Amino acid sequence: MKKILFVGAEVMPFAATGGLGDVMGSLPAAIKAREKGNVDVRVIMPLYGAIKDEWRAQMKTEAEIEISCAWRLQYCGIKSLQKDGVTYYFIDNEYYFKRDKLYGFFDDGERYAYFCKAVIDSMAHIGFYPDILHANDWQSAMTVVYLNTKYRNIEGYANTKTVFTIHNIEYQGKYDPIILGDVFGLGVEHLSLMRYDNCINLMKAAICCADRVSTVSPSYAEEIKTSEYSHGLDHILHLNSHKLCGILNGIDYDYYNPAKDTVLCKNYNRRNTISGKNENKLALQRECGLPERADVPMMAIISRLASHKGLDLVTEVMYGIIGNRDVQLVVLGTGEQKYESFFCDLERTYPDKVKIFLTYDRDLSKKIYAACDVFIMPSKSEPCGLSQMIASRYGAIPVVRETGGLRDSIKGYWVDNGEVKGNGFTFANYYSGELYDRISAALDLYYDKPWYKKLVSKITGTDFSWASSAEKYMDMYNSI
């Protein structure tokens, strides 16, 4: 039986801030469901203060140990619970993890160095030495590094192979080299491994140490080898390109299921998508104080309000589109002040057409996916993107820029011999004129009912479940 340990800083449904949590919460269970008794899949994460009591009540204490991290000796509780055939472990240390949010603290480097050390030490205490250690993003990068630099000679640790997945190359975990010994507990002999561009760079070190490096779409795997997308790491990825691959994410088809979703006012399936969406639209309009009309096309943006999500293009086109058309827009997300202000101004200008929710709310997001007709996601860069897949599952037409996972998941609409091709509207250049044009085309199609219905049916029929990607991960593990 193959033993796989996933390591990540967020895992749904326990604690998450974005797409990493979705993937960590669904890929392990998808692999288990596919391979059944052939794999033992386990996942390990920090026990954050935000993890709810309903989960804590199900946890069992596996061990209480001490972790030496540089000169510190820190308490470490190891808790576990079972869910969907997967064992989840939680590293308990209130000093590091009982805080009001997951990240963004001055000592994040130390917090995740501790977490990674605790993960590696835990293996001995729970008696689980995995065949594959699968680390995700910079926060778990040091598991791969510690394993290779400090543990290979210790009994049990010799044969574990490692995979490091890049979910977003923008966040690398960069620190001043001066803290190499003090925080990460590594001697100068490891400086060349850890250093890049005069910083300690945790992601770079994991890329160099891991047996395989993957990222979350084939296009992004190519893009990050170029200086335009790599945030400085293209040289390192070139050197390691023999172990790099891209596997497109899937989404959890049980959690995102309009036929069963309990937060919707009306469930619907592929046969009654349009009427079901109309009822959800009317309910959302009521909730938002927008005119209750099923016949008006509703656009939506659900996103972190950050510039790489393509919001500069949105700010350039939105007044034109809202001003010129009979349309509604609902936005959900938080982020940079300039975008929050832009959307608030837009809402003040068009209170009958625009509703802005400056928050992060998963239930509300699903009501918006179910209500909207056109989903806008013009990212400047997008490693994979899950929102375009969720929107598709709920029958909204995605309008996306052709980058990373958006390019791999959404193909432009066209009609060939009376047959609909593609599953959305796409544009290539990071240019607002192209976004304006594609949003307009999607809104025009909304009124062309026979073709609109055919496209919606094509979209809801596209498979974004984990089925094929879980197989690709297994192939990668087996190839090591």
Q: Which is nearer to ligand GLC, 27 or 459 (CB)?
A: 27
Residues that bind ligand GLC (CB under 6 A): 18-20, 23, 167-168, 216, 249, 382-386, 405
Task: State the Cα–Cα distance between residues 454 and 421, nearest whole angstrom.
Answer: 10
Q: Show Cβ contacts of residue 268 under 8 Å, excluding neighbours closer than 6 positions.
A: 258, 259, 275, 276, 277, 279, 280, 370, 395
Q: Which is nearer to ligand GLC, 223 or 382 (CB)?
A: 382
Closest distance to ligand GLC from the beta carbon of 386 (Å): 5
Q: Which is nearer to ligand GLC, 246 or 297 (CB)?
A: 246
Return the closest-CA partner of residue 442 out of 395, 397, 407. Answer: 397
Question: Which amino acid is it at 278?
Answer: N
Question: Which amino acid is it at 298?
Answer: M
Closest distance to ligand GLC from the beta carbon of 366 (Å): 17
Task: State the Cα–Cα distance between residues 362 and 409, nearest whole angstrom.
Answer: 22
Closest distance to ligand GLC from the beta carbon of 379 (Å): 8
For 346, the 3-state DSSP assignment is helix
Closest distance to ligand GLC from the beta carbon of 403 (Å): 10
Q: Which is nearer to ligand GLC, 237 or 386 (CB)?
A: 386
For 328, the 3-state DSSP assignment is strand
- Which single residue brings its beta carbon nearest to ligand GLC? 19
Closest distance to ligand GLC from the beta carbon of 232 (Å): 17
Task: State the Cα–Cα distance between residues 326 and 118, nearest whole angstrom.
Answer: 56
For 380, the 3-state DSSP assignment is coil
Closest distance to ligand GLC from the beta carbon of 81 (Å): 23
Closest distance to ligand GLC from the beta carbon of 432 (Å): 22
For 3, the 3-state DSSP assignment is strand
Q: Which is nearer to ligand GLC, 445 or 474 (CB)?
A: 474
For tokens 């066209």, what's the residue?
414
For tokens 């979705």, what's the residue?
22
Q: Which is nearer to ligand GLC, 117 or 134 (CB)?
A: 134
Number of helices and strands in the chain (H, E): 18, 20
Q: Which is nearer to ligand GLC, 20 or 321 (CB)?
A: 20
Closest distance to ligand GLC from the beta carbon of 359 (Å): 18
- DSSP-derived secondary structure for 290-302: ----TTS-EEEEE
What are 311's two structure tokens?
């919001």
Q: Which is nearer to ligand GLC, 144 or 390 (CB)?
A: 390
